[in-house]
A and B are shown apart, each in its own frame.
Chain A
Amino acid sequence: MSKQSISNAAHMFSGKGRYAPLFKHNERVGSCINPIIKVDLGVPIAEDADAFIVGATSTELPDTETVTYAFPEDGGTSPVDGANQSGVLDVPRNMMMLISHASSIVDMTVLMTGKDEYDEDMSELFTVSGGGTAIFFVGNKAFKKVTSIAFTSAANAEANTISLGFGHWLGLPLNLEGTHDVLAFYADNNEESGAAHFPAGDPSVATPSTNDVRGLAHPETTVPNGAIHYWLWMKVKGVNAKEDLVGVNQA
């Protein structure tokens, strides 16, 4: 398959139509072109709420300490005995966690560490506080691989119960500036951009608490089930700087 770069410019124009006010604005004759790309998001399997951590509780959780589970090293032993013990995801996607307690959830943090689709180190932090008997966390970053999950508590959190897995929000390979740059979103042959959600790439300096550096696609009408192919038509934020192309550095 032959390939060609047609331009190194940040903005492209075509045509020779000249109109002075427009030329003054664009500094080019003709019209601006906005190249778009069809992104193949693959055929992701269904989400799995306890793929990585299955009902961790008692001494599997911290008591004034940090308890860390590594992938794939700790695979096969409770609580790392779910459907995914390698830590490798089928497509870049978000994490999700359910924490519960019989009477009042003990404060703690959950730090997930891993890789994005370009094998860059990344992390995301869930901060648990406020009591209650059940809290559901939905991550905002797309992981391609999970390498460790660290549970930290300043008190005894062994009465909590935690399951942690992956969701159905799909990571993008290129930076999305906003929903206004989404042209269409297909689940097989069904166009569903109206129902889906597209958080933009977070341009702030990345931390474990910021959002995905490139953005996400949230299917809503037709959720992944291992048989549906997703396609996204979008404009990339920019093509001349690494940050515009693939987002800020991961944290």
Chain B
Amino acid sequence: MSKQNITNASQLYSGKGRYAPLFGRNGRVGSRIDPLVKLDLGAPIIGDPNGMIETQNLTSAGVFSVDVTVAAALIAAALDGVCDIPRNIVAAWTGTAVITITGTDEYDEPMSEASASGTSLTGKKAFKTINNISVSGDVTALTVGTGDVLGLPLQLEGEYDILALYADITEEKIASVFVAADDSVATTTTGDIRGTVNPDTVLDGSVNFYCWMKVKGTNTKRELVGVTQA
């Protein structure tokens, strides 16, 4: 498959139509172009709420009741610490505590997310792998797994930059839930650095999702793939 970069510019224009007031505004003849990208989000399986940790107790010292270490506990669970596609993490437990999930994103960058003090987490960030789970206080009946919020590989500035979301051949951008990238300095409690989508159609491992969107920008790393993970 051949590939070519057609430009290094931030803004593209096409055509030679010249109208002085418009040229004065743009500095270029013709019209500006806003390129789109068609993202293949794959055919994700349905969220698995205990796919990472299957009901164990966990101490603040990091000891799991059944498998002792986090590595062993992850291997013992259905997903083996790896998500099929980047997606959010969900967790539930007994005993008030803050849970912190550590792993990597789809570009293998280290990342982490922490819950509020409580007994559950519905994560906002898209993880590709999980390699550590810790709690601020001892908890029991801990389950950790995947949700149905899918990560985007490129930065979404706002929902107004979504042109279409297809679940196979069904267009559902209005019924789906998009969250734009959080471009503040990343912490364990900020949102996803590129943005996410929770499709309206139930994930079942066979429905393929495609998203047509405009990337926030293409001339800096930060505009392209978001701020540095925390």
Contact = CB atoms under 8 A, between A and B. Distances in A.
B12 A8 contact: no
Interface string B1-40: 0100011111111111111011000111111111110000
A214 to B, nearest CB: 11
B58 to A, nearest CB: 38
A7 interface: yes
B10 A1 contact: yes
A130 interface: no
Contacts of B36: 36
Contact of A6 (B7, B17, B27, B160): B7
Contacts of A1: 10-11
Interface in A1-48: 1-10, 12, 16, 35-38
A67 interface: no
Contacts of B95: none
B15 A4 contact: no
Contact of A189 (B9, B31, B178): B178
Contacts of A5: 12-16, 28-30
B31 A174 contact: yes
Interface string A142-158: 00000000000000000
B11 A2 contact: yes
Given A3-B9, A3-B10, A36-B36, A239 B17 contact: yes
A36 B214 CA distance: 11
Interface string B158-199: 111111000000000110001000000000000000000000
Given A189-B159, A231-B160, A38 B34 contact: yes
Interface residues of A, number: 40
B65 interface: no
A198 interface: no
Interface stretch (A49-57, A76-84, A161-169, A240-248): A240-248
Interface stretch (A86-94, A101-109, A180-188, A201-209): A180-188
Contacts of B35: 35
Contact of A239 (B6, B14, B21, B163): B14
A238 B160 contact: no
B219 interface: yes
B224 to A, nearest CB: 15
A8 B15 contact: yes
Given A7-B15, A186-B159, A189-B160, A2 B31 contact: no
9 contacts: A5-B14, A8-B29, A38-B34, A190-B159, A191-B160, A229-B160, A239-B17, A240-B17, A245-B30
